[in-house]
A = this chain, B = another copy of it.
Amino acid sequence: MCSPEVMAQVRDTIERDSRRAGMRRRDLFGAAGLAALGALAAPRTAAAAPVSSSGTVVDLTHTLTPDFPVWPGNPQFAMRPVATLGGVGSVDTGSVDTGSLGPANPASGFAVNELTYWEHTGTHLDAPAHKIAGGATAEVLPVADFVAPVVVVDIAARASSDADTVLTVADLRDWERAHGRIPARALVAMHSGWETRLAVPGGFTNLDAAGVPHAPGFDSDAVDFLVAERDIVGIGVDTLSLDHASSRDHGAHVACLGAGRYGIEALANLGAIPPVGATVVVGAPKHVAATGGPCRVLALL
């Protein structure tokens, strides 16, 4: 899948993005310079919309498991214990297993898992770089965009009978007639009701006989409208793709990520928050050169 030429292109892309962020090559791949990046290179403050919350928190995040559905052909999320609390029998809550410190036994007395996964797994963020050459990676997106009004557009009734349906400009116009204008710098989320299919094996990915997935997504025209006319920070879906799953041109990805906005896929519990009025806080991944990654998404009501 990754020829030397392609790998070189990826490396060039990473380096170009890094240069844009003010880093030098040795800072990105060197032995010492990277240590300082977090403290010295990251933007520290930014202005988001003011937040007022009653104190109710709704979790819009699925629990990520080795069986959580992934895009066809992608590997499942994997984890394995690499360190433990101590010897067999050390089960008293109050007991202290001091173990030994130091390199020979680095985590003795503590339980730790090793995780291995592709970035676009579980409830996760898509950064522009996931689809757009030269697009921003997740760790340099403005933090202010991770605190945003969240708008929920419900197309569940239509999706229940048409797995290939898309959220259209007409749906957004209908939503605005009912709820008022979509606020600026909002995250606009498609609620298709797809998460109920998690209870049925194969229901969430919904492959046809040819192995092609079918699930709702955004129409690219609707994304263009949201970017150009409503200045959104991003879009979210309760399915595995911003596009309807059988899309060949990935128009919603291109419209959203090409405009420098972010996407969130596999959101949970969108039916538990109102169409408008909640504030979402996106716990976006912050590893270097991230095309995206699992993220905790909390809605404040």
Chain A positions near chain B (C-beta within 8 angstroms): 1-2, 5-10, 13, 30-59, 61-69, 71-74, 77, 79, 81-85, 87-96, 98, 101-120, 122-123, 129-135, 139, 143-144, 146-147, 195-196, 198-199, 201, 204, 211-212, 246, 248-251, 253-254, 258, 268-269, 272, 281-296, 298, 300
Contacts and interface: CB of A to CB of B under 8 A. Distances in A.
Contact of A50 (B48, B53, B68, B101): B53
A286 B61 contact: yes
B45 A272 contact: yes
A130 B111 CA distance: 5
B81 A34 contact: no
Contact of A71 (B81, B106, B201, B268): B106
A112 B103 contact: no
Contact of A133 (B72, B90, B134, B246): B90
A2 B81 contact: yes
Contacts of A201: 31-32, 35
A120 B112 CA distance: 7
A115 B294 CA distance: 11
A56 B104 CA distance: 44
15 contacts: A2-B82, A6-B87, A9-B88, A30-B67, A37-B62, A38-B63, A38-B198, A38-B268, A51-B300, A73-B105, A79-B288, A91-B134, A93-B132, A96-B251, A112-B292
A254 B94 CA distance: 8
Residue among A35, A52, A106, A133 with max Cβ neighbours from chain B (10 Å):
A35
User: How many copies of this protein are present in the complex?
Assistant: 2
Nearest to A46: B57
Nearest to A74: B106
A129 B112 CA distance: 9
A196 B120 CA distance: 33
Given A57-B146, A72-B102, A105-B73, A113 B300 contact: no
Nearest to A67: B34
A68 to B, nearest CB: 6
A49 B55 contact: yes
Nearest to A245: B101
A106 B73 contact: yes
B63 A269 contact: no
Given A57-B46, A79-B287, A112-B130, A198 B36 contact: yes
Contact of A54 (B50, B90, B119, B211): B50
Contacts of A284: 283, 296
A117 B118 contact: no
A39 B68 contact: no
B93 A135 contact: yes
B248 A98 contact: yes
A265 to B, nearest CB: 12
